[in-house]
Structure 1
Amino acid sequence: MIEPTPEQVLMRDSLVQLLGDGVARARAAGDAWPRIDRALWADIAGAGWPGLLVPEACGGWGGTALDMVMLLEGAAATLAPEPLSAVLAIAPLLADCESAASAALLRQVLGGEGIVLIAESGAFPLSPEADSVVFDAHWADEIIRAEGEGESFRIATLPAADLIAAPLRRTIDGSGQRVFSLPTGAGLELAHGPGAESAFDRAVNRLRLATAASLMGLARSALALTLDYLSVRTQFGQPIGTFQALQHRAASLHVAHTAAWALVCEAALGVGGDKERIACAMAKTKASSTARGILEECVQMHGAIGFSDEYALAPLFRRAVTLASAFGTPQACLGEIGRHSQYA
């Protein structure tokens, strides 16, 4: 098992302290949806977090994928509504594009003056005319979109305000997603060609890895809540945690979380290698299925209180459901693993 270094622990604790009571802010954001409160984002950017994976030469920290994983796993339980994990994963893409437009956009991101998110391509039954979706779209100032392949591959950005007419749907955790379709060639070009395609693929891999780490953090927090509940909830005059059946279930959940977390950490170590795409897709697949399974079991062991909005477990569950389908569902990631592993 890979353990965080003392430096990574300090980073994680610093971010968690900065995010504060993210649950309260997430609930407030849900009540105000789709309006957002960016009061904390300036502090997040001021502390340099968006630049964690950006090279030092471009104004970032030059951190590693494992730094990102350790950071996001620890911060996930705060349920902070800000799209930090997506920005962490996307910011290095702007550095990789190596154009004047991308450099200007990167300066805005690092300075906290703008939030840039990626549009994921796909098919959407509720909007058959749409071909792209942006998660946390109501936070975005700019949206990055890719099209084509090989020499015709193109990365472009467009103001989020240009998509105001596209449907913005509220997700189960109180965030939102916008589905849309744009004509070929829309937006300001940031980069093109095979090099741009590789850079965009790496950004998608980082997004999957970041989401996997967040899912593991949610599952860990839910399991801790459940173990505490089992120790204080009494039945027949004794804590229900003394019942052997529940002990076995809790132990199985711990083993499942440990195995999935190990895979996520190993995938982080594989970033930059030949198997990066497969490793990140596997991590996202395993984290999605494991986190949902753990959360479902935790809710069941709590009984009715597990569904209560006032109790912390319910928002953890809803966030896990949303993240499990973001940036590649388990089915989509498994299909991608099968396609690329043939040539591995």
Structure 2
Amino acid sequence: MAVLTEEQSMLRDAAKSWVQEKSPVTAFRKMRDSGAELGYDVAAWNEMAEMGWAGVIVPEEYGGSNFGYLSLGLVLEELGRTLTASPLIASGLGAASALILGGSEEQKQAWLPKIADGSAVAALAIDEGPHHRPEKVDAKVEGGKLSGKKVFVLEGMAADLFVVSAKSGGAIELYLVKADAAGVSRSKLSLADSRGAANVTFENVAVSDADKLTGGAALLDKVLDRARAGLSAEMLGAALQAFEVTLDYLKTRVQFGQVIGSFQALQHRAAKMFTELELSRSAVEAALTAIDNDAPDTAELVSLAKAKMGDTFHLVSNEMVQMHGGIGMTDAHDAGFYLKRARAAEAAFGNQAFHRDRYARIQGY
């Protein structure tokens, strides 16, 4: 585990306390059953924003705390434990990073304070097909008009602002587009994990150089790496909770006159999960620390973390269902929530295959 500063320890403890008291898994179940239009509890999100979590990476001059990515990862890990749905990754991490890294002073002044206080939600509109291929961009800007379609936009229904990738003059650029701009339309998606997402269409939307971020394809890579690392931290928290719940069950469930945790085969499977979780934590914390330090190997560490965390969460969520037996197959138990979240999170911002391939290419293979 990373060595934390006093401020980071306090932030983690505050997040742990809040999710246990205000946002347990029962709150997620209630949100899911209510059919919440946005895919999250707006009141809970407002509380999170009031605690400053939406502005953890935002510089102080724009209303944030500038605590860094490892600090935000600590919050996301705790939120992951109880499957708390919110726009934190899409808005407070992904879109905020785009503005911090590539925004002009005017763009930062206009949007970062609103993102930091939660009054505006921003989202990344990048993918255009069923698989994560950020380099494949058909959306275009011609004659000051942006046209194209983006799919699986996380928090797309809640967004007030989109960070859109589009080609201009043959090169990939990122543009800021208001959700209520003429020519923008969106349709809600129903995802297995009950989170908020949408397909968004841009039809001759007026854009100018004042809407363009600086950095092009290189900026896009950096922004996506920050979103990937943050999502990996959330996945770590969810996998840890799934493991701990399963471990408690192994210690209490009696079968054939014995606690099932005494069966050697189940002990081996539990030990496998524990070792994979420890390796995954090291990978996730290394990626977040590399981002904070602007390390030259950030991209490969992020892909390592996302691929490893995808494998681990997949394993643990499967074992949670299997080891709980019949009850684990029912909607009455929480195991299905963790399995569904694992599958959706694996696919977001690149699955294991994408990141293994990317890691190999970075290594020169």
TM-score, structure 1 length as denominator?
A: 0.89
> Displacement of 1:233 after TM fit?
0.4
The DSSP-based 3-state class of the residue aligned with 2:231 is: helix
The DSSP-based 3-state class of the residue aligned with 1:299 is: helix
Which residue of 312, 317, 322 corresponds with 1:290?
312
Corresponding position: 1:280 with 2:302: yes
Counterpart-to-counterpart distance in 1, 2:45 and 2:169? 36
Which residue of 81, 94, 97 corresponds with 2:99?
94
Indicate if the aligned counterparts of 2:184 and 2:203 stay in contact, CA closer than 8 A. no
> Displacement of 1:149 after TM fit?
7.5
- Paired residues for 1:135-284 under 5 Å: 135-148=154-167, 152-161=171-180, 165-182=185-202, 187=207, 189-193=210-214, 195-271=215-291, 272-284=294-306
TM-score, structure 2 length as denominator?
A: 0.84
Aligned to 1:107: 113
Aligned to 2:135: none
Corresponding position: 1:72 with 2:76: yes
The structure-2 alpha-carbon separation of the partners of 1:256 and 1:157, relative to structure 1 and needing over 3 Å to count, comes to same
What is the CA deviation profile of residues 242-301 of structure 1, one whole-angstrom value per residue up to 9, with x for unaligned ones?
A: 111111110111011111111111112221111112211221111011111111012111
**Which amino acid is the alignment partner of residue 26 of structure 2?**
A
The DSSP-based 3-state class of the residue aligned with 1:148 is: strand
> Displacement of 1:4 after TM fit?
4.1
Aligned to 2:32: 30
Counterpart-to-counterpart distance in 2, 1:186 and 1:16? 44
The structure-2 alpha-carbon separation of the partners of 1:165 and 1:93, relative to structure 1 and needing over 3 Å to count, comes to closer
Indicate if the aligned counterparts of 2:156 and 2:186 stay in contact, CA closer than 8 A. no
The CA RMSD measured in Å over matched residues stands at 2.7
Q: Determine what percentage of the aligned residue pairs are the same residue.
A: 28
**Which amino acid is the alignment partner of residue 225 of structure 1?**
V
Counterpart-to-counterpart distance in 1, 2:205 and 2:295? 32
**Which amino acid is the alignment partner of residue 62 of structure 1?**
N
Counterpart-to-counterpart distance in 1, 2:58 and 2:267? 44
**Which amino acid is the alignment partner of residue 25 of structure 1?**
A
Counterpart-to-counterpart distance in 1, 2:194 and 2:207? 29
The structure-2 alpha-carbon separation of the partners of 1:186 and 1:283, relative to structure 1 and needing over 3 Å to count, comes to farther
Structure 2: unaligned runs, 5 residues or longer? 132-137, 139-147
The structure-2 alpha-carbon separation of the partners of 1:42 and 1:131, relative to structure 1 and needing over 3 Å to count, comes to closer
Indicate if the aligned counterparts of 1:12 and 1:75 stay in contact, CA closer than 8 A. no
The DSSP-based 3-state class of the residue aligned with 1:60 is: coil
**Which amino acid is the alignment partner of residue 7 of structure 2?**
E
Indicate if the aligned counterparts of 1:152 and 1:192 stay in contact, CA closer than 8 A. no
Counterpart-to-counterpart distance in 2, 1:279 and 1:113? 33
Counterpart-to-counterpart distance in 2, 1:275 and 1:71? 24
Residue range with higher mean Cα deviation, 38-47 or 218-227: 38-47
Counterpart-to-counterpart distance in 2, 1:222 and 1:297? 9
Aligned to 1:320: 342
The DSSP-based 3-state class of the residue aligned with 2:198 is: strand
Indicate if the aligned counterparts of 2:166 and 2:174 stay in contact, CA closer than 8 A. yes
What is the CA deviation profile of residues 179-222 of structure 1, one whole-angstrom value per residue up to 9, with x for unaligned ones?
A: 244358755653344x3543332221110001111111111101
> Displacement of 1:176 after TM fit?
3.4
> Displacement of 1:112 after TM fit?
1.9
Counterpart-to-counterpart distance in 2, 1:164 and 1:183? 6
> Displacement of 1:241 after TM fit?
0.6
Residue range with higher mean Cα deviation, 116-125 or 41-50: 116-125
Aligned to 2:145: none
Structure 1: unaligned runs, 5 residues or longer? none
> Displacement of 1:22 after TM fit?
4.0
Counterpart-to-counterpart distance in 2, 1:212 and 1:144? 21
